[in-house]
Amino acid sequence: MCAMDEKVEPFYDEVIHRNPGELEFHQAAREVLTSIGPVLAKHPDFAEHKIIQRICEPERQIIFRVPWQDDRGEVHIQRGFRVEFNSALGPYKGGLRFHPSVNLGIVKFLGFEQIFKNALTELPIGGGKGGSDFNPRGRSDDEIMRFCQSFMTELYRHIGEYTDVPAGDIGVGQREIGYLFGQYKRITNRYESGVLTGKGIVWGGALVRTEATGYGTAFFVDEMLKVRDDSLDGRTVVVSGSGNVAIYAIEKVHQLGGRVVGCSDSDGYVHDPKGIDLELLKQVKEVQRGRIRDYAEQRPNATYVRGGNIWDIPCQVAMPCATQNELTGRDAATLVANGVVAVAEGANMPTTPEGVEVFLDAGVAFGPGKAANAGGVATSALEMQQNASRDRWTFRRTEQRLAEIMADIHELCFATAEEYGMPGNYVAGSNIAGFQRVAGAMVSLGLI
């Protein structure tokens, strides 16, 4: 990646000074700020209005205590977060993550990324993120319900259809969204189904929302290949993770003619040369809530490697769909040596800066998360539209709209990179396009 413009460096130094110890947030801010020197040269009014300083400072940061009781009667105290980062384009929009790793720096990095990701969709949504250090793994449904009810008892006063609309993320699926909304309805006495997205289909959820992030990532990588006169058809693909995003990325890759030969979880990975058996994977992960080793035990052709590195599997397309900083510079070099031609991030910032640099230097088509995984939040916005109009769309109509949005995001990033003299650089294209849209709105709204 190119060096940071000297006019921008003081702003980055200020981010580090004002947010000590928040390494993931520093990384996310640096990745965006490295791209926007040419924007400031073209739009000097952005500097005059202190847009960079304002855009790097959340509009509101909420931290709260979440007490809850387990099935044995023991009391636990977790910490809850909601960072409402930027509402220049619409109500704050972004997921809730329940995972032991969650802290303020993680939530701020995710919220900062969300600002620009949401802007790229060109839908009226701002950026935010939240969550808790609660670990749902191994907990009963009743324990998860009690935690969600306690979490929402504080969060409800900060959210609303026109204020802040949370969704799911790691550790937060339809079950958790249901418990959260039930408590919101109970406290407010209002059936505001648009206050949360990722809901169950029978009570206001959008068809394709479950599949949206994974589908969108596959659509995006296919668009990147199209401009190179290529496609996913016949390509060997590796997808990290085996959660919601990974499962539906695999599904759409298969539908587009690709063959996914590997996926993973936190314990290790499986290599299935004949192609991942999607129905078996869904049974293991979505029904049995098992581990990826359980897949290998039921699939004779698959090999399970405990604690192994999934990026050692040779492939032509790589899709990191697990978590941040999972794909390092060394991993990127391995993928390039093995013939990778395209990489699309299904997770948020899963590739380290060193890894991104390796891909860009090698001429690999690299789709950063704020563009490639925007399908989830785009479909959340479509769910908000349906809730607001008391309407319900078919699966086909929603998927078609998702495909159109992802194609438009690709075109916007591709065209912006060319406009600024960096053809094919989707990192620069996505950062610049997202930043310009948010900055323009902030200038129009005045000093707020």
359-405 pLDDT, tens digit per residue, is: 999 999 999 999 999 999 999 999 999 999 999 999 999 999 999 99
Catalytic-role residue among 42, 50, 108, 129: 129
| Extents of the domains making up the chain | 1-57+425-448, 62-190, 212-363
> Please, what is the average pLDDT of the chain?
96
Q: Which of 33, 42, 45, 26 is nearest to 6 (CA)?
A: 33
Q: Residue 163 carries which DSSP code? A: T
What torsion do the CA atoms of 113, 307, 246, 83 make, to the nearest 10 degrees? -30
- CATH number of the domain located at residue range(s) 62-190 in this protein: 3.40.50.10860
**Segment 406-432 mean pLDDT:** 97
Asked whether 134 and 145 are in contact (CB, 8 A), the reply is no
CATH architecture of residue range(s) 212-363: 3-Layer(aba) Sandwich (3.40)
**pLDDT score recorded for residue 395:** 97
Q: Residue 312 carries which DSSP code? A: G
Is 213 annotated to bind ligand? yes
Is 129 catalytic? The answer is: yes
Does the structure show a pLDDT above 90 at 96? yes
Give the pLDDT band (50/70/90) at residue 3: confident
Tokens 């949370």 sit at which residue? 166
Question: How far is 147 from 371, CA to CA, in rounded Å?
Answer: 33
Which runs of consecutive H residues, i.e. helices, occur in 156-300? 174-188, 212-226, 244-255, 278-282, 292-297
From the number of C-beta atoms within 10 Å of its C-beta (0-12, 13-18, 19+), residue 229 rates as exposed
Does the structure show a pLDDT above 80 at 429? yes
**pLDDT score recorded for residue 41:** 93
Confirm whether 62-190 and 212-363 share one CATH topology: yes
**pLDDT score recorded for residue 289:** 87
| The two three-digit tokens of residue 307, written as one number | 């604690």
Is 210 annotated to bind ligand? no
Give the pLDDT band (50/70/90) at residue 43: very high
| The two three-digit tokens of residue 369, written as one number | 């998360």
* H and E: helices and strands count for the chain: 18, 12
Strand 127-132 and strand 259-265: the pairing is unpaired
**Segment 194-211 mean pLDDT:** 95
**pLDDT score recorded for residue 315:** 98
**pLDDT score recorded for residue 172:** 95
Q: Which of 334, 347, 148, 149 is nearest to 240 (CA)?
A: 347
**pLDDT score recorded for residue 2:** 60
State how far the alpha carbon of 208 is from the alpha carbons of 94, 172, 204, 223, 224, in Å.
17, 17, 13, 20, 22
Is 244 annotated to bind ligand? yes
Percent of the chain with pLDDT over 90: 96
